[in-house]
Structure 1
Amino acid sequence: MFNESIRYLKDSDDAATTILVGGLLVIFGFLIIPAIVVEGYMIRVLRRVSEGDTEAPKFDEWTELFVDGLKALVIAFVYLLVPAIFAAVFIGGGAALSNNSGVLGGLIMALGALLTFVSGLAVWYALPAALVRFAEKNTMGSAFEYESYLPILRDREYATGWLIALAVVVVTGIIVSAIAVIPLLGWLVGVFLGFYAHVTASYIYGRAYAEADEHRLREGPEVEEGRPAV
């Protein structure tokens, strides 16, 4: 899976053009619309990979990319509301109570920090699957049909793919930080490398989801909940 993900964009017919356009969109992401288009492109990657298409998509049909990207950001925002609410209620509430009761306020803040961390990790793990499902069904509601993709989250292939994608992101971040010391050139290289890593991670998510779903369908109703991740 890892080797294929690295070659996914590099071996496509329009690799140079796609990387150039993607990097430029990231550079101008502060204008918001380019950043949304990039997210739409990632949804297109998830859709094609989950369907078994091995060719990286092009930047075309820009309106569709923008709409898909906007929907993906809304989905992500809704998912992130859970840890945000925990942080606001418990950590914020604990901080307010600490003025009157330092011990109680500290305990509530500690509980809030734990709940925020656990829920944030859960969202980080589940969100890629939710976005793949949205990409497949092309409806925002499908991203919140938890019972439909819960077996995917419990499958070993999805868990493995998620960890590989995490490694790609972490290693890329280290490389980008290392070359950032080169004035201007380091920053530019980092931007394009970051886009490439984003596409690579999206490929891994889409492939892991598809393989986990294939296991669920192949193994039949007796193991409807999928293979355990551990």
Structure 2
Amino acid sequence: MDIGSAVKFPTEDEKWIAKVVIGGILSIIPIVNLLVTGFYLKTMEKAIKGSPGMPEWEGWGELFVKGLLATIICFIYLLIPLIVVTVAVVMVGGLASTVTADTFPNIFAMFSAIIIGGILAIIFGFFIPMALAMYVASGSVGNAFKPGELISRIKSVLGDYILAYVVIFVLMVVLSLISAIPLLGWIIAIFGGFYIGVVAMNIFGNLYVASNA
């Protein structure tokens, strides 16, 4: 997999700047940002169908529905890490309200739970791109939850899949660091985040095509 070409993929569209500007603006509006998620999936769909490229900003209803369904799929996959963190925070909060002599163990336990939840989120999140590709390719949400096929497809392209996941993760971490820059960093993060999302969906769409069930 050519990472350099993959990262430059959006710039191959002659209207890529306008599309990124629209995507960045929509991404910061609650609920409306489901359109952005739908756009990502349309990007993945084009890759799977063999006509890679950024889609047009059109068919808003379809984009919204796809974005909503994708969000539900992601939520279900991340439900276990969310439950772990939530339960831990609630339990530690309850202990802290009754035990005041030494709060350090409570704080340590809470942060440990958050760290474990974060690790679980990374692990479960590893499966999400392929799960979304399985949904996009079939049009059925149920196909996103076929563990046998999911694992088989990932295993068949494991090296490139891990590389893609790590590269996207690192890009997002770098972007989050840039966002700490007053004002300018926040602006870069908004549009950069959308750009990276498009890159990721194109990469994983291509990996789905190369995979075997």
Aligned-partner residue type, residue 200 of structure 2: A
After TM superposition, the structure 1 = structure 2 runs for residues 2-17 of structure 1, keeping only pairs within 5 Å, are 2-17=3-18
* 1:93 CA drift (Å): 3.6
* Residue in structure 1 matched with residue 150 of structure 2 by the alignment: 149
* Residue in structure 2 matched with residue 138 of structure 1 by the alignment: 139
Aligned-partner residue type, residue 133 of structure 2: V
Q: Please say if 1:194 is aligned against 2:193.
A: yes
State the alpha-carbon separation in 2 of the partners of residues 88 and 63 from structure 1.
Answer: 33
After TM superposition, the structure 1 = structure 2 runs for residues 75-94 of structure 1, keeping only pairs within 5 Å, are 75-93=73-91
After superposing the two structures, state which structure 1 stretch, 50-59 or 130-139, moved more: 50-59
Superposed CA RMSD in Å reads: 2.9
% identical equivalent positions: 24
TM-score by length of structure 2 reads 0.80
* Residue in structure 1 matched with residue 176 of structure 2 by the alignment: 173
Q: Please say if 1:164 is aligned against 2:159.
A: no
State the alpha-carbon separation in 1 of the partners of residues 60 and 88 from structure 2.
Answer: 42
Offset from partner CA, 1:158-204 (integer Å, 9 cap, x none): 111111111222223333433x344xxx5444422222122122222
List gaps (5 residues or longer) in structure 1. Answer: 218-230
Query: Is the alpha carbon distance of 1:174 and 1:203 closer, same or farther for their aligned partners in structure 2, counting shifts above 3 Å?
Result: farther
Query: Is the alpha carbon distance of 1:168 and 1:202 closer, same or farther for their aligned partners in structure 2, counting shifts above 3 Å?
Result: farther
* 1:63 CA drift (Å): 1.0
Offset from partner CA, 1:64-98 (integer Å, 9 cap, x none): 10110010111111122111222234553455467
State the alpha-carbon separation in 2 of the partners of residues 23 and 96 from structure 1.
Answer: 40
After TM superposition, the structure 1 = structure 2 runs for residues 201-216 of structure 1, keeping only pairs within 5 Å, are 201-211=200-210, 213=211, 216=212
* Residue in structure 2 matched with residue 74 of structure 1 by the alignment: 72
List gaps (5 residues or longer) in structure 2. Answer: none
State the alpha-carbon separation in 2 of the partners of residues 111 and 81 from structure 1.
Answer: 18
Aligned-partner residue type, residue 134 of structure 1: Y
After TM superposition, the structure 1 = structure 2 runs for residues 47-126 of structure 1, keeping only pairs within 5 Å, are 47-93=45-91, 96=94, 99=98, 112=113, 116-126=117-127
Residues 164, 204 of structure 1: 8 Å contact kept: no
Residues 90, 111 of structure 1: 8 Å contact kept: no
State the alpha-carbon separation in 2 of the partners of residues 190 and 156 from structure 1.
Answer: 28
The number of residues matched between the two structures is 206
* 1:140 CA drift (Å): 1.0
Residues 44, 57 of structure 1: 8 Å contact kept: yes
State the alpha-carbon separation in 2 of the partners of residues 17 and 50 from structure 1.
Answer: 24
Task: Give 3-state SS (helix, strand or coil) of 1:130's partner.
Answer: helix
Q: Please say if 1:20 is aligned against 2:21.
A: yes
After superposing the two structures, state which structure 1 stretch, 149-158 or 123-132, moved more: 149-158
State the alpha-carbon separation in 2 of the partners of residues 136 and 97 from structure 1.
Answer: 48
